[in-house]
Structure 1
Amino acid sequence: MQSPTDQFVTSGAMARVMANAMPQTMHSMISPGLQSLYDHCLRVYPTQSNPLQVTAVLKYWLGGPDPLDYISMYSNPGDADQDIPPHWHYISFGLSDLHGDGRVHEITDLQTPSGFGFELTFRLKREPEEMSPPTWPAAVMQALAKYVFQSSNLLCAGDHVSWHCPLDNSESRIQHMLMSEDPQLGQVMTCFGSVTFIQIVGVCLEELKAAQKWNGPGVIDLLRSHPRAGGHWLVTDMRRGETIFELDPQLKEAVDDGIATQGSNLSGVSARCSWTQQSVSTNNNEESNDDSDAKDIDNNKVTIGENENNDCFVREDKYSQSRNSCSSAMSVSHDQQNQSNSRMSFASETGAPEPGELIQTKYLKRLNLKFNLEAGLLLPLALRGRLKHDRHFTFKSIIGDLAITFVTPAVSGSFVSITQPYAIHGPWLQVLIPNDYIDRMLADLNQLDDYQNDNQDNLPKKYDWPEKGLSIELMPEDN
């Protein structure tokens, strides 16, 4: 029998498993934010006060690479009456404020969320032969946490994550993720603010695409409706060999009808993106041809500016990371559920506070945009599913505050117009596409259907609309 301090290494230097973690009820030894979350979990698992845990070898505030302090792994018996199978329930600790002393998250009051305001959970179907929980979900959760810390983009119910390989590195069809609120944990108020538990749901490529073209909550509801696709508690089965549309072909028609009548809830996606321009006029209508005019936006995470060609460049700091082959291709898409309001703001699109009044809006006469292939493949969806419905769509840099937002004249909160369609304000670039030009761009981009994420032989690929002074380049993923 192992002692409470016995540990064994799981994968590289990322984490260790504590076979018998120190009891979570020892208040004097546990930080107050962490204790609040432990107590909440104990209400769901009253007989598991000392679950197995994965913990960072070197804590993040001491210079370690992994933001999550702990990941607890509970054994959930399921509910046979609701067709919920026995499963492992993984719960993270570290995205919210555990310590309240500023070592990781800024000190706030109870009127604001704790830290980033959420923690991650994951439910993995327990196989009959399993005596202990697999630890690979911890690596997935750490990769998602690194994305949040690096980009300051939050993960919310309805969001989608492209992962591009089986989550457990097997041959499974479950290679992507949707986000939903955990059905048992929900939300809790801690001593440092509110925390929502966001559950990771493993899905197939076809289910991810349906969520992107329509909306994440709609697809989540479809998965809930079928026990073999996740059921009421959205338990991920890595051995599931059929998509929800193969299990019930009628559901494909429901998705198609939703896309046609409602458009897409996909309001933005993380991307590798940049822009260049040839000439600039300021908001004082003064002509400027000085392409070396540079700006620095420092948010204590990443600095974005322009080089001599007005390319956006990125200087990385402690949130930079080297990820494994799967998570390095990860892309996060954000679902906007409130479609009655198309208004956008600097904070909502960039994730950064509004810059000072000294930051001027610059209007660009010509604009060249660059996107990595996966982000570029979403351009037709952005045009057809968003702009055609007078909704905006944002490509958010995965390593900084740069945000490129496509709008139509009907989108409120924009600072562009038909006469000045391209403008940059701090790290926020807006691109106005007239309604009568959307179909023209869709026709020119129809060849994108021939591209796949794993076929980059013909890249870079450039699309030009000279009469609009606009061009878009698709770049290989490793550029």
Structure 2
Amino acid sequence: MSAEPSTAGWDAIEKEFVKLYGDQEPKHYGTLISYALGGPDPLDGISAYKTDEPVPHWHIVTFGFSELYDKESDNTEESGYGFELTLRLARGPEEDEPPAWALNLLQNMGRYVFNSGNIFRSGDYMDANGPICLGSDTRLTALAFIGDPELPAVDTPNGRMEFIQMVGITGDELEAMQTWNTLGMLNACLPYMPQYITDLSRDSLLKKEAVSEAAAKGIREDGSNTGFLFVDQLAWEPGKKGWLSKTPAALTLGAKQAGIIGKLLQGRILKGRELTLVGPEIRVIFEAGEKPVCTVLEDTVRIILDETAAGELSSGLVPRESVLEIPSLPGTVIRIVKTNIKDSDGNVVEVIG
């Protein structure tokens, strides 16, 4: 007769919530068929606790990114992926159950991590390309990640694990995080977003003077923390020299990300830092230097920009279909093409550019 599997990892998570909520019985949503056996949901379970402090909200936690049962991975330092996600969600007076969209969103995060191997850490952000609650008119269209303010990292029998809180943010707040940094921006928002509670009904906090001033000061003084940006629409076409004419080399960017790339160049190059764009087949590295030049080696394009070239590029990168010539970089043009935003069924719901 085989021994019962250990639940030490699961117990370690629940123990931290007992410290916060005593003997409260959470709403728990288990998975009937595990992901490994072909079930649709990668996480083993999600629990939601009711709290009224500092305002009524759900405090939701996942079970499944860390090792919940016996130790299986070779990494003795960390339990599984080394974290579980939490989400604090504003709760209405009549709500007895957390909304289904929030549970689905957390399972989608599980699918993303399990399928890509990419993990979430404090300071990360993610563009949802639409409302985080599908079908709603919320302004929250992206997510930021920070250590849960009430839950420190814990050492479990299966290794160390952090509680990373997911926070719903607006598009302009995301842009501020990209051009400055996530934790600085979240800290500036904290007086108006206690414990980073996600509230679908809220407006952008950049409309608060204190927040917009903090973001502007941070961008000006610190520059941008974003050194890498994944760009779906990124392509490179080398120039051609013919007898009678020559075609310039062309870097193609999607309109959706053109504007933010322009702002990132200001926040990186003018501070002497690199910016790397990573596309499906090409990597483009912008560097600060004394003389603008473009070199190509296999699947990497390296573009050196001085202050003048960085300024020309930044001001020209706008979310509009166009061809941008950079006087400081003769022989190279930037081609900005339309971006189609699609829903989960693949239907185009918005065209940018």
Q: If the length of structure 1 is used for normalisation, what is the TM-score?
A: 0.60
Matched, 1:476 2:331: no
Provide the aligned C-alpha RMSD in A.
Answer: 3.1
Matched, 1:243 2:177: no
Q: Name the aligned partner's letter for residue 444 of structure 1.
A: G
Aligned counterparts of 2:324 and 2:41: Cα–Cα separation in 1: 40
Cα 1:54/1:191, change in 2 over 3 Å: same
Q: Name the aligned partner's letter for residue 220 of structure 2.
A: A
Matched, 1:378 2:260: yes
Aligned counterparts of 2:138 and 2:293: Cα–Cα separation in 1: 51
Q: Name the aligned partner's letter for residue 68 of structure 2.
A: L
Residue 421 of structure 1 corresponds to 295
What is the aligned counterpart of 2:126 among 158, 161, 171?
Answer: 161
What is the aligned counterpart of 1:267 among 227, 231, 256?
Answer: 227
Residue 92 of structure 1 corresponds to 62
Matched, 1:136 2:112: no
Runs of 4 or more, structure 1, over 6 Å off, are: 417-420
DSSP-derived class of the 1:378 partner:
helix
Residue 146 of structure 1 corresponds to 111
Decide whether the 8 Å contact of 1:95 with 1:117 is kept in 2: yes
Residue 77 of structure 1 corresponds to 52
TM-superposed deviation, 1:443: 3.8
Decide whether the 8 Å contact of 1:392 with 1:405 is kept in 2: no
DSSP-derived class of the 1:217 partner:
helix
Residue 203 of structure 1 corresponds to 169
Residue 15 of structure 2 corresponds to 39
Q: Name the aligned partner's letter for residue 64 of structure 2.
A: G
Decide whether the 8 Å contact of 2:76 with 2:158 is kept in 1: yes
Decide whether the 8 Å contact of 2:231 with 2:277 is kept in 1: yes
Decide whether the 8 Å contact of 2:46 with 2:61 is kept in 1: yes
Cα 1:176/1:108, change in 2 over 3 Å: same
Cα 1:275/1:237, change in 2 over 3 Å: closer
Q: Percent of aligned pairs with the same residue?
A: 27
Q: Name the aligned partner's letter for residue 206 of structure 2.
A: F
TM-superposed deviation, 1:101: 5.8
Cα 1:148/1:368, change in 2 over 3 Å: farther
Aligned counterparts of 1:194 and 1:372: Cα–Cα separation in 2: 40
Cα 1:171/1:216, change in 2 over 3 Å: same
Decide whether the 8 Å contact of 2:284 with 2:301 is kept in 1: yes
Q: Name the aligned partner's letter for residue 221 of structure 2.
A: T
Cα 1:109/1:210, change in 2 over 3 Å: closer
Gaps of 5+ in 1: 1-26, 79-83, 280-365, 411-416, 452-457
TM-superposed deviation, 1:35: 2.9
TM-superposed deviation, 1:468: 4.7
TM-superposed deviation, 1:56: 3.5
Residue 407 of structure 1 corresponds to 286
Aligned counterparts of 1:97 and 1:467: Cα–Cα separation in 2: 54
Q: Name the aligned partner's letter for residue 157 of structure 1.
A: S
Cα deviation digits, residues 372-431 of structure 1 (max 9, x gap): 44333322022111122122223345xx7x672523157xxxxxx987733347xxx352
Q: Name the aligned partner's letter for residue 91 of structure 1.
A: V
TM-superposed deviation, 1:108: 2.0
Cα 1:72/1:396, change in 2 over 3 Å: farther
Following superposition of structure 1 onto structure 2, how do residues 206-225 of structure 1 map, counting pairs within 5 Å? 206-225=172-191
Q: Name the aligned partner's letter for residue 97 of structure 1.
A: E
Aligned counterparts of 1:47 and 1:86: Cα–Cα separation in 2: 18
Decide whether the 8 Å contact of 1:274 with 1:371 is kept in 2: yes
Decide whether the 8 Å contact of 2:294 with 2:304 is kept in 1: no
Gaps of 5+ in 2: 240-247, 343-353
Residue 433 of structure 1 corresponds to 304
Aligned counterparts of 1:472 and 1:150: Cα–Cα separation in 2: 32
Decide whether the 8 Å contact of 2:6 with 2:69 is kept in 1: no
Q: Name the aligned partner's letter for residue 374 of structure 1.
A: K
Decide whether the 8 Å contact of 2:84 with 2:163 is kept in 1: yes
Decide whether the 8 Å contact of 2:27 with 2:49 is kept in 1: yes
Decide whether the 8 Å contact of 2:57 with 2:197 is kept in 1: yes
Cα deviation digits, residues 259-293 of structure 1 (max 9, x gap): 122211222333314534549xxxxxxxxxxxxxx
Aligned counterparts of 2:161 and 2:266: Cα–Cα separation in 1: 35
Decide whether the 8 Å contact of 1:270 with 1:375 is kept in 2: no
TM-superposed deviation, 1:40: 2.9
Decide whether the 8 Å contact of 1:390 with 1:407 is kept in 2: no
DSSP-derived class of the 1:377 partner:
helix
DSSP-derived class of the 1:391 partner:
coil
Aligned counterparts of 1:203 and 1:419: Cα–Cα separation in 2: 38
Q: Name the aligned partner's letter for residue 9 of structure 2.
A: G
Decide whether the 8 Å contact of 1:165 with 1:175 is kept in 2: yes
DSSP-derived class of the 1:383 partner:
helix
Aligned counterparts of 1:74 and 1:121: Cα–Cα separation in 2: 11
Cα 1:403/1:44, change in 2 over 3 Å: farther
Cα deviation digits, residues 57-83 of structure 1 (max 9, x gap): 4311113343222111111231xxxxx
Say which structure is richer in strand.
Answer: 2
Matched, 1:256 2:193: no
Q: Name the aligned partner's letter for residue 304 of structure 2.
A: I
Moved more, 200-209 or 215-224: 200-209
Decide whether the 8 Å contact of 1:96 with 1:118 is kept in 2: yes
Cα deviation digits, residues 418-456 of structure 1 (max 9, x gap): 87733347xxx35232325222322432xx15x4xxxxx
